[in-house]
Structure 1
Amino acid sequence: MPTPPQLIAPTAEVHASFLAAMEEFRADGTEAVPHSRLAAELRTWADRWRTAEGFAAYVALTAGTARDERPDGVVAMTTRWWVADGRYLGRVTFRHGLTPSLLDHGGHIGYAVRPGARRRGHATAMLRAALPVAHHELGIDPVLVTCDHTNAASRKVIEACGGVFEDRRAEKLRYWIHAPRPAAGPKPSPRG
């Protein structure tokens, strides 16, 4: 019986499917996307990923808390992979803080589903699985998630996960997602 997808720490066990996914992202034009961590990794790691040693080094780097260096500052970053039955389907990147540029167009959470696995509900499921990690494990509340104003699919994903639209900044739409609040318990009955 197939196992449902789940967020896991990066692992060398998915090397072959990871390489296939990266080829799909390259064919899809991801390398040219500005402000994309995945695009930067495709440009800098693609040759090293192919060897077991290079991939192990990449996994070691991404499995812990890394640094996301930007011209306007550095923030801590955690990455989780979306995997089902040993097959890499995508990833979520958690930025623990916001620089001015992340506040405008990056947000706390970035996610990517490999092109061959799109339109199957993975993005929504992945973001839903990521929110408790952000809220409870990393203490990020509320979470800022952004998407291109032309990306109707991402808008639907963010809104389905509770995103509340704040504004548009340049080409990006900005949404905030708060941690669910505990339900109020029953009110004590008045005694008289």
Structure 2
Amino acid sequence: MPQLSEPTTAVHHSFLAAMEEFTAEGRGAPEDGSAIARDLRRFGDSWQNADVFAEYVAFARSQATEETAAALRYVPTSTYWYVEGGTYYGRIAVRHRLNAMLLEYGGHIGYDVRPTARRRGYATAMLRAALPRAAALGLERALVTCDHDNVASRKVIEACGGVFEDRRGVKLRYWIATPAAEPAAPSPPSSSA
């Protein structure tokens, strides 16, 4: 069963194949504002080189830091890849907080599943696995959005507990409660002599 993992060089070849699949469906075009599109435009021509791919993996991991995020004018974002062995199935990003644009458009969590791995429940599994990570960042609930005509993504969000708030432009906005931290075990009663 695939698991969430920090970005890793262990899936280099499978990652390249997945990016070819995304490109074939039109991702990476100038009007595509997704994280995968930005990465395709910035790194896509050089990912074949193992050293460049290793730099990209380090870059993807570094986006969780305030310093890197500030330099990119993003909010800190923890990126996880959905992998099994050497196979890359997709990615999910957990943004540590919202800015004005993310509140309207992108939300706390965004995900992509490679085209040949869709319709297997991976997006739902990824989102469920990411919610405790969002909770660990102090988020009591996470905003997740999708295009109004993306029925599959809407079903994923609703299956993970998404509660519809509204539609803004082409985006449907849902809030999902993150799992509460487990309460500490009660202390044993103190004995007084």
> Normalising by structure 1, what TM-score?
0.87
Asked if 1:34 is matched to 2:32, the reply is: yes
Which residue number corresponds to residue 93 of structure 1?
Answer: 93
Deviations 1:32-69 (A, max 9, x none): 35321110100110122110110000011112325457
Q: Which of 142-151 and 173-182 deviates more?
A: 173-182
Conserved? CA contact 2:46–2:52, under 8 Å: yes
Instruction: Evaluate the alpha carbon distance shift between residue 74 and residue 182 of structure 1 in structure 2; reply closer, same or farther with a 3 A threshold.
Output: closer
For residues 150-189 of structure 1, the aligned pairs below 5 Å read 150-181=149-180
Conserved? CA contact 1:11–1:63, under 8 Å: no
For residues 64-143 of structure 1, the aligned pairs below 5 Å read 64=62, 65-66=64-65, 67-68=68-69, 74-136=74-136, 138-143=137-142
Instruction: Evaluate the alpha carbon distance shift between residue 140 and residue 43 of structure 1 in structure 2; reply closer, same or farther with a 3 A threshold.
Output: same
Q: Which of 156-165 and 23-32 deviates more?
A: 23-32
* Aligned-pair identity (%): 57
Instruction: Write the letter of the residue equivalent to 1:144.
Output: L
Unaligned 5+ residue runs, structure 1?
Answer: 185-192
> Normalising by structure 2, what TM-score?
0.87
Deviations 1:71-95 (A, max 9, x none): 9x53111110000122000000111
Unaligned 5+ residue runs, structure 2?
Answer: 184-193
Which residue number corresponds to residue 52 of structure 1?
Answer: 50
4+ runs deviating over 4 angstroms: 66-71, 181-184
- The separation in 2 between residues aligned to 1:143 and 1:155, in whole angstroms, is 15
Which residue number corresponds to residue 190 of structure 2?
Answer: none
What is the count of residue pairs matched by the alignment? 179
- The separation in 2 between residues aligned to 1:97 and 1:130, in whole angstroms, is 15
- The separation in 2 between residues aligned to 1:19 and 1:45, in whole angstroms, is 11
Deviations 1:139-162 (A, max 9, x none): 222100000000011000000000
